[in-house]
Structure 1
């Protein structure tokens, strides 16, 4: 442990499973004093809280779960308020929750588009608003990391609403970073590529009729012989949240093994 998050309070949306949970574990390992995770499932939240506490056993990290459906207006704001009420502040925010369902330009309904825009753009907007307000009120520096996607560069035809909402989040990330740079609040985004999470397994089987060995086949086809790993991404997130990442703000970083704009 390098104690990159020593005595920091971190709020993580989507923190009860997959990448969000891995980020919580990494933050606890790096000495976070408080971790608040947000998710819909009480059962997943209970397991995540236990795992994060175990990761931070050497530093005594306090972990709370906020059960919330972020698609409902006001729930994102409640998550921020409950975190501040419990810990007195927010030092770092990670927006890892989001919608990933499929839709093309031609078959996407207004309802599906709104679902993506709400979860992938509006919810991060509101959590950032609350976190930045708390940081400014305290006159304290802070860090925010938005999980975006490599697909914001264009993506597949069946990801039209997803791409639209995540590209908007990338623009919001830069706008907020510029607006609050003199508040010493650093805001960055991570464009993650194809990642091996339980949620991705569900997505592959639901939308692409994937077989049980889909991960083995998909991994073999990648340049590095594997998909992105949640624990590796979590380490990158914690670094960007920490002081070790220096003055970096407003950066949208491609975290993948494929290079946009490069061709055989």
Structure 2
């Protein structure tokens, strides 16, 4: 018996990084999975990998900055599996911008991907759960930077802080519907997207992970598979009645000072 046996799980932003790791962990724990992304290549490759491993999965092409496509990702999951039991919002835009140099277009892009997309995917998923009078679970991948963050992450922090508030608000609103909604404020994690970001915005070389590890208390970055295991726990009944929690998944302690 897996933690998610028989559950239908949608992982938005699920074709690489944390999302792909969540999809793998969900299949391993007995779920059927749909993953979304903008590029068919990585999406179809992941579906093939999951299918070869004995799982059941499908790829849904979607640009999650578009509210209608975010809602459609849920509709296609329901059309495929008959329902949606679990939703994970893991898509994220991490391009840089400060308060002084962020343009309206950059600001809107962050709001669209990091807040509007999750909002309307949650809207569609909760609507299906409520219509069926069935319990469900949602996990939003947020960021430890949502507490304040670095000066060069202002639009990103703005949008993710909104997602943190949305997580708590929606959890409160739908607790009597037995829909549990939680979030993870993840810290610095070694993903394909983070590698691209470090190279594009910070001039990082091939050894950036090793340099970063030297500055971290536990001597390494977080791993997607570790986060995925935590997400699966929150999606499953094993996490009990917890809802409206935004958990700091990080090795730095909020408020701790040296």
Instruction: Report the TM range for the smaller structure's normalisation.
Output: over 0.9
On the 8 A contact 2:67/2:120 being kept in 1, the answer is no
SS at match of 1:134: helix
Structure 2: unaligned runs, 5 residues or longer: none
Structure 1: unaligned runs, 5 residues or longer: none
Tell me which of 240, 251, 263 is aligned to 2:234. Answer: 240
On the 8 A contact 1:76/1:126 being kept in 2, the answer is yes
After TM superposition, list the pairs within 5 Å mapping 1:128-147 onto structure 2. 128-147=122-141
The corresponding residue for 1:4 is 3
The corresponding residue for 1:24 is 23
Tell me which of 189, 192, 206 is aligned to 2:186. Answer: 192
- Cα distance in structure 2, aligned partners of 1:201 and 1:132: 34
The corresponding residue for 2:158 is 164
Q: Normalising by the residue count of structure 2, what TM-score does the alignment of the two structures yield? A: 0.98
Tell me which of 77, 80, 101 is aligned to 2:71. Answer: 77
Alignment root-mean-square deviation, CA? 0.9
User: Between Structure 1 and Structure 2, how many residues are aligned?
Assistant: 258
- Cα distance in structure 1, aligned partners of 2:67 and 2:125: 17
On the 8 A contact 1:28/1:53 being kept in 2, the answer is no
Q: Deviations over 1:9-52 (max 9, x none)?
A: 000011011100000000000111x1000001111012211233
The corresponding residue for 1:112 is 106
On the 8 A contact 2:66/2:112 being kept in 1, the answer is no
List, as ranges, runs of 4+ consecutive aligned residues in structure 1 with deviation greater than 4 Å.
none
Q: Deviations over 1:188-221 (max 9, x none)?
A: 0000000000110000000000011101111222
- Cα distance in structure 2, aligned partners of 1:149 and 1:8: 26
After TM superposition, list the pairs within 5 Å mapping 1:43-122 onto structure 2. 43-55=41-53, 57=54, 61-122=55-116
The corresponding residue for 2:38 is 40
On the 8 A contact 1:104/1:161 being kept in 2, the answer is yes
In the TM superposition, residue 223 of structure 1 has moved relative to its aligned partner by: 1.0
